[in-house]
Amino acid sequence: MLGISAFYHDSAAALIVDGEIVAAAQEERFTRIKHDDAFPVNAIKSILEKSGIRAGEIDAVAFYDKPFLTFERLLESYAAIAPRGIRSFARAMPLWVKEKLFQRKNIVRLFKDHFDVDIADRLRFSEHHYSHAASAFYPSPFDEAIVVTVDGVGEWATTTIGIGKKNDLKIIKEINFPHSLGLLYSAFTYYLGFKVNSGEYKVMGLAPYGVPRFKDLILEHILDLKPDGSFRLDPAWFNFIGGLTMTNDRKFEELFKVPRRRPEHEQLSQVHMDLAASIQAVTEEAMLRITDYVAAEYGIPNLCLAGGVALNCVANGKILKRGKFRRIWIQPAAGDAGGSLGAALAVWHNEFSKQRIVPAALDGMKGAYLGTEFSQTEIEKRLTRLGAVYDVAETDEALVAICADHLAAGKYMGWFQGAMEFGPRALGARSIIADPRSPETQKDLNLKIKYRESFRPFAPAVLAEHVSEYFEIEAESPYMLLVSNINEKHRIRMAPEEEGLFGIEKLNIARSIVPAVTHVDYSARVQTVHRETNPLFHALIDRFKQKTDIPVLANTSFNVRGEPIVCTPEDAFRCFMGTGLDTLVIGRCIVEKSKQVVQFNEEYRYEYELD
């Protein structure tokens, strides 16, 4: 079963064989275009090559969305507000009539063009939120679970509640467009001067610097949130139905007494941080009410989450801490990329009626290490062609020892190992890693390597067996999708004069013994590293612990701002030579900046459109 998501944002492909997830990848990694929405021809080629399957051997191709239903929603929405929205309608319709409406014909043609295979009788379509739900339930470790999906919008649905039992999954309740938590959060992302469908992470990262003083205003005027978590938006505050922007800027300015922030030009002020804190608090409140309701209503102890809002790891952490569910599992590719996987799983279990095998280990995602990988021989050939100067460790044990020494000495390292991750998080396969003990690490990684905003936090990659010693969490968090506070015994309390600081002034104050991964509110986006799914990364952190007594490394994605995570050794070396990284480790090859004859690329940071 081949699953595809495409034509909106975050195109991807996923392959399952006899019910087992064997490969998945996002198109952006190959084209180097962030959130690429094109037909995922490169992703499909990569996963077929990885699995050793020819295109003609595919039994079914599943698309993650039903375009006719989406077109119906667009027409009804425009009709409801006519004649307002005519400019947006005039821009959208030609593209729909020419390409998106007749998606079946388009996909069949593209597959024929690129793979010389006619899939007309093998093509299936899954509803958008069902694809999300399937991607969450079927790979989960649960025999039975409540499944909640929340995003911007699919065809009509924006939020759904489902129940999964064995190989059966049914959606039982939904909230429809234009009432959407995802679009609400994106509207504030836009108003704060960040890019929609990209900058939502920034809003979440900015929120702890602010005070949620606008929360009640949002709930009073913009979002009608009921005790059971159901909600309605007042359309008068928005412009996404028939306009070309997300918000009614005039009404937002009147309510919050601040104009929309100009992207890249206007400095972030305390009011922007307070707005971020407020929309984050509203989102958390909505998600807690929804999950409280389903826990009480259905009495099922397990919860699965997917959809773009499920990437809000702060909200996820609060759901876990609430204690209404015994266990929570979140699809690591919770956004539209993961819809490709969900579509394939939906066809496998529903149309082909195949029995589901509940994973015996962590889950069915294999740590999300489902993408492209390279042999040691291939890595050496590629690095040599690039003119890289490198040493080769004789064994993995020798490699780990050398790398732990570099990290303990304060060096910043690009770490490129094994199969590429599926989803937006780097999980120790395409990562930048560093010593979390240094108070300089966060600033250096943001400004000298990632070339991005200084307030952005980094994740602790922590040995799974030691996570509760450092963080207030007992559960697994292999996909960096749960936020937890650092334990009291490891915190550093602020002095009275530091307590009085506001906003970004708090940034450079160490909050714990691992300040590089401790946010200003003592929180951390935890990644538990498991020997079963990533033995080499686990071994590296373990060796670092032997040297420093700290079982944690700072982890962030291997890229610069606006760039997709690196995919190939060539991508990794170019990024390495265009940033302040000290060491690059690909396979058993160790590349040190000080030994290179290739010139540092000062223009690298400008090669990608800002996110």
What average pLDDT does this structure show over 43-49?
98
Map tokens 């049914």 to a residue: 170
Dist. CA 409–CA 488, nearest whole Å: 27
Is the pLDDT confidence value at 80 over 70? Answer: no
- CA torsion through residues 44, 47, 52, 53, sign: negative
Q: Which two tokens stand for residue 419?
A: 């199969």
The pTM (predicted TM-score) of the whole model is 0.95
Cis-peptide, bond into residue 515, ω within 30° of zero: no
Dist. CA 133–CA 424, nearest whole Å: 18
Strands 12-17 and 20-26: antiparallel
Domains of the chain plus CATH, in order, are 2-139+331-364 (3.30.420.40), 181-327 (3.30.420), 376-606 (3.90.870.20)
User: Collapsing DSSP states into helix, strand and coil, what is residue 597?
Assistant: coil
Dist. CA 42–CA 38, nearest whole Å: 10
With CA atoms as reference, report the closest residue to 559 among 589, 530, 579. 579
Angle at 531 between CA 525 and CA 536, to 5 degrees: 90
Encode pLDDT of 361-415 as tens digits.
789 999 999 999 999 999 999 999 999 999 999 999 999 999 999 999 999 999 9
Is the pLDDT confidence value at 353 over 70? Answer: yes
Res. 86 pLDDT band, cuts 50 70 90: low
Q: Are 449 and 560 in contact, with CB atoms under 8 Å apart?
A: yes
Cis-peptide, bond into residue 178, ω within 30° of zero: yes
Dist. CA 313–CA 139, nearest whole Å: 19
Dist. CA 399–CA 376, nearest whole Å: 13
Distance of CA 395 to the CA centre of its chain: 33
Q: 559 CB contacts (<8 Å, ≥6 apart)?
A: 450, 565, 566, 575
Q: Are 479 and 368 in contact, with CB atoms under 8 Å apart?
A: yes
Is the pLDDT confidence value at 242 over 80? Answer: no
- DSSP readout, 221-238? IIEEE-TTS-EEE-GGGB
With CA atoms as reference, report the closest residue to 434 among 402, 389, 470, 403. 403
